Structure 1
Amino acid sequence: MSIREIFPIDKWDFKSQSVLTGLPEDELQVLTAHQTENIYSKGEIIFREGGYPSGIFYIKKGKAKKYKVAREGGEQIIYVANAGELLGFHAVLEGDRYPDSAAALEESLIAFIPKEDFLKVLEQSSELSKRLLKTLSHEFAVVVNSLALFSQHSVRERLALQLVVLREKYKIDFTPGMPVEINLSREDLANLVGTARENIVRTLSEFKAEGIVETRGRKIIVKDVVALIKIADYK
């Protein structure tokens, strides 16, 4: 049974090919002519809110979080980006400062593409324009869904839903019945759910006692995704 039969995962997880996969070779050559690649360690900042963009970032391997920093210093994670996704292009398109910050969630290989090359290809590529529009629409939908989730659901329900979504994002070479390890700190999970770390630890303990999840250090293994979907109570 596909998860899509019982849960609207497409509202949360963007399943598509890489944004750059399949672009015409001449466009790809211009786009990547001056790119540089860097390995970011877990927690390393990719860009900060308020900074001026000089290009975009392409995740080749790993994951990154987009987040806002509150006045008191706490974080609210607004999006988890996977390999194949772009970061920072919103600010380049708007010609403005970064509206949020981004950091690696795990060791990640990320390419930097100068904005001049990005904008040059964008001007001539209808395919890249369509893909970016689709990406923007998806990210906006995730933000809207998250706002509704915070206002209408309990911490237990929100955590259940985010574990369902993260399970999809952490699938690698997945086959039915295969365990999926969610490798995310309790602090990041709390910032994604929008609650205190203590609430996450307590609720995860409840899920463990109910046989829904298993933990190995910071890793979380979902044993009963159907139970999480029922707890989330998300239509």
Structure 2
Amino acid sequence: MTDATTRGFIGQLAQGDRQALLSEGVEQIFPARSALCAQGEIGTRVMLILRGTAKVGRTLSDGSHTVLGLCGPGDIVGEASAVAGEGSARLAAVIAVDSVTCRVLAASRFRQVLRARPEIYRTLVAVTNDRLRRTADNGVRQAAHPVACRTARMLKELAARYGRPAPQGLLIGLALSQHDLALLVGASRESVVRALSRLRTSGIITTSRRKIIIRDPDGLGRAGEHH
């Protein structure tokens, strides 16, 4: 099995629903830094990520940019505007961090699949609610908790969603830069670099270019506790 069939939205589907959805559309590769979809465009496609990492971001009215989250194998992109119906604009942009392989299907066909297989729709609602909860929780953490605590909690969350076994521990299966992590944590890159350095010194994580391995999950959990 690939990561995409065991994780995220796709991984939560029953086998029959999963196979039915993945049989739709065509496979498409998006090169690094290319757009899977753009903010404001009419949503005509839905993408199921099979491999790679994408970044969800939104440009605000004052011109500033915020990163809302990362997507990896098993995640779905573009479903909100598709479910909203014909002519609905996308609320955020999704940009490939590294090479991203997707199963791409027309929004109209996706709506037909949801009508034919209501369990897929129910799973989609649950995934959307979980995403909203994580966003709200992250906002509370940014307001109330130190950067070191927030960094550890974000790594724990990413490991739970995208972690896969590696010789040294649990590899977060995303192409994750320090800059992207800082945007997710809601802190300066320098502050997050210091937090990562402390976690490395404590033997909790190891890092290399765009890779983070959790060596001590219990220690990471303790580092994320706010006293």
Q: Which residue pairs with 1:40 in the alignment? A: 30
% identical aligned pairs: 23
Residue type of the alignment partner of 1:100 = A
Correspondence for 1:22 among 16, 19, 22 = 16
CA drift at 1:51:
1.3
* CA–CA distance in structure 2, aligned partners of residues 160 and 209 of structure 1: 14
Report whether the alignment pairs 1:167 with 2:159: yes
Task: Give 1:14 deviation, angstroms.
Answer: 5.1
8 Å CA contact 1:79, 1:139 repeated in 2: no
Residue 229 (structure 1) aligns with: 221
8 A contact 1:20–1:84 mirrored in 2 = no
Inter-CA distance 233–16: structure 2 relative to 1 (3 Å threshold): farther
Q: C-alpha separation between the residues in 1 aligned to 2:114 and 2:44?
A: 16
Distance 2:135 2:65 in 1: 18
Taking the aligned partners of 1:221 and 1:186, their CA distance within structure 2 comes to 14
Q: 1:145 aligns with which of 124, 137, 160?
A: 137
Instruction: Give deviations 1:144-184, integer Å, cap 9, x for gaps.
Output: 21122111211111101111122233423x37973425641
Alignment partners' CA distance in 2, 1:87 and 1:169:
16
2:82 matches 1:92: yes
> 1:197: how far off?
1.3
Residue in 2 that maps onto 1:6: none
Once superposed, what is the RMSD of the aligned Cα atoms? Answer: 2.8
Contact conserved, 1:60 with 1:109, CA < 8 A, in 2? Answer: yes
Q: Distance in 1 between matches of 2:151 and 2:219?
A: 12
CA 1:28–1:16: 2 relative to 1, 3 Å: closer
Aligned residues: 217
Per-residue deviation at 1:54? Answer: 0.6
Report the Cα offset of residue 213 of structure 1: 2.0
Following superposition, the deviation at residue 42 of structure 1 comes to 2.9
Q: 1:75 aligns with which of 66, 69, 74?
A: 66
Match 1:104 to one of 96, 100, 108: 96
Shift of 1:36: 2.5
* Structure 2 unmatched runs, 5+: 1-6
Matches within 5 A, 1:6-17: 17=11
The CA distance in 1 between the partners of 2:198 and 2:188, in whole Å, is 16
CA distance in 1 between partners of 2:18 and 2:199 (Å): 48
CA contact (8 A) 1:42 1:107 kept: yes
Given that residues 9 and 127 in structure 2 are in contact (C-alpha distance below 8 angstroms), is that contact kept between their aligned partners in structure 1? no
Distance 1:83 1:99 in 2: 22
Note the C-alpha offset of 1:216: 2.3
Q: Which amino acid aligns with 2:16?
A: G
- Picking from 183, 187, 190, the partner of 1:195 is 187
Instruction: Please state how far the C-alpha of 1:15 moved relative to its aligned partner.
Output: 7.8
Give the letter aligned to residue 137 of structure 1: N
Q: Secondary structure at the match of 1:83?
A: coil
* 3-state SS of paired residue (1:22): helix
Name 2:3's counterpart in structure 1: none
Q: Give the TM-score normalised by the residue count of structure 2.
A: 0.82
Q: 1:189/1:58 Cα in 2 relative to 1: closer, same or farther (>3 Å)? A: same
